[in-house]
Copies of this chain bind each other. A is one copy, B any other.
Amino acid sequence: MTVWDRPEPPTRPAPLDRERIVAAAIALADEGGLEAVSLRKVAARLDAGPMRLYGYISTKEELFDLMVDEVHAEILPEEQPGDWREVLRVLAHRTRQAALRHEWLADLLGGRPSLGPNGLAVTEAKLAALDGLADIDTVMRAVETVSAYFTGAIRREIANLRAERATGLSKRDWQRASGPHVRRMLATDRFPALAKAVHDGTEVDAEVSFATGLDWVLDAVAAKLARPPA
């Protein structure tokens, strides 16, 4: 039996692993948002049928969890510099930057506990930075408070960014309430303080605003660390 008689060995399907699946999903999400991620499309990117994925994940939600954990790897800096304040500040900013790179992260942030290896590593870094500076409960409260702040701030920032993009209004115009609906509402003078804020408020860079609020919260933490609880 010569070579010519023998068929080629059947091409085994390209091997799959979670890494490749997650990478494909992230690529899709980066391009078209979370809603562009479907198991069918992820599988198609990997030349596989949708059902193939169920060997690696058992639910679409799990895929999202893996995606978030993957981004947490980007968030964790190689080496931690400086004092606790610097560590928390850097982690907050890196999370924000990750969300600007991967806007879909804003949809997932805080939506489920991050128990993946990278998520845990980030939490570890936060706790380690404060370790020994106060009793454990205060430390945990501090980490949770800072995290809650930047989670919420990032979500709002991305939400506003999308709204601006969708309406085609610049941030300045939006703040000036150029949207017809908001303008009409403000004209009713049922919202005097809001109207004043929109009218007189300075345009602020999103990053500056984020950093300022973060500093306030860090100040608050510093105050509690200095004077441990009664």
Q: Is the CB of B136 within 8 A of A196?
A: yes
Q: Show 16 A/B contacts (Cβ-Cβ < 8 Å), sorted by A.
A: A110-B152, A111-B155, A112-B159, A113-B159, A113-B163, A124-B194, A127-B196, A136-B201, A137-B201, A139-B197, A140-B201, A148-B156, A151-B155, A152-B155, A217-B220, A219-B223
- CB interface residues, A 183-230, toward B, < 8 Å: 185, 190-194, 196-197, 200-202, 204, 209, 212-213, 216-217, 219-221, 223-224
Contacts of A191 in B (CB 8 A): 120-121, 123-124
What is the interface of chain A, defined by CB distance below 8 A to chain B? 107, 109-113, 115, 117, 120-121, 123-124, 127-128, 131, 136-137, 139-141, 144-145, 147-153, 155-156, 159-160, 162-163, 179, 181-182, 185, 190-194, 196-197, 200-202, 204, 209, 212-213, 216-217, 219-221, 223-224
Distance (whole angstroms) from the CB of A230 to the closest CB of chain B:
13
Q: Among A127, A209, A221, which residue has the most Cβ atoms of chain B within 10 A?
A: A127
Add 5 more A-B contacts to A110-B156, A151-B152 (CB < 8 A): A107-B111, A121-B190, A144-B153, A145-B153, A219-B220
Closest 5 CB pairs of A and B: A148-B152, A152-B152, A151-B152, A220-B220, A127-B193
Q: Is the CB of A148 within 8 A of B153?
A: yes
Contacts of A145 in B (CB 8 A): 149, 153, 212-213, 216-217
Which one, B111, B136, B216, contacts A220 given CB within 8 A?
B216
Q: Is the CB of B197 within 8 A of A144?
A: no
- Docked complex Cα distance between A19 and B220 (Å): 42
- Docked complex Cα distance between A136 and B201 (Å): 6
For A166, the closest partner residue in chain B by CB is: B112
Contacts of A202 in B (CB 8 A): 136-137
Which one, B113, B153, B185, B212, contacts A120 given CB within 8 A?
B185
For A229, the closest partner residue in chain B by CB is: B212
Contacts of A192 in B (CB 8 A): 124, 128
- Docked complex Cα distance between A204 and B190 (Å): 41
For A137, the closest partner residue in chain B by CB is: B202
Which one, B190, B194, B213, contacts A144 given CB within 8 A?
B213
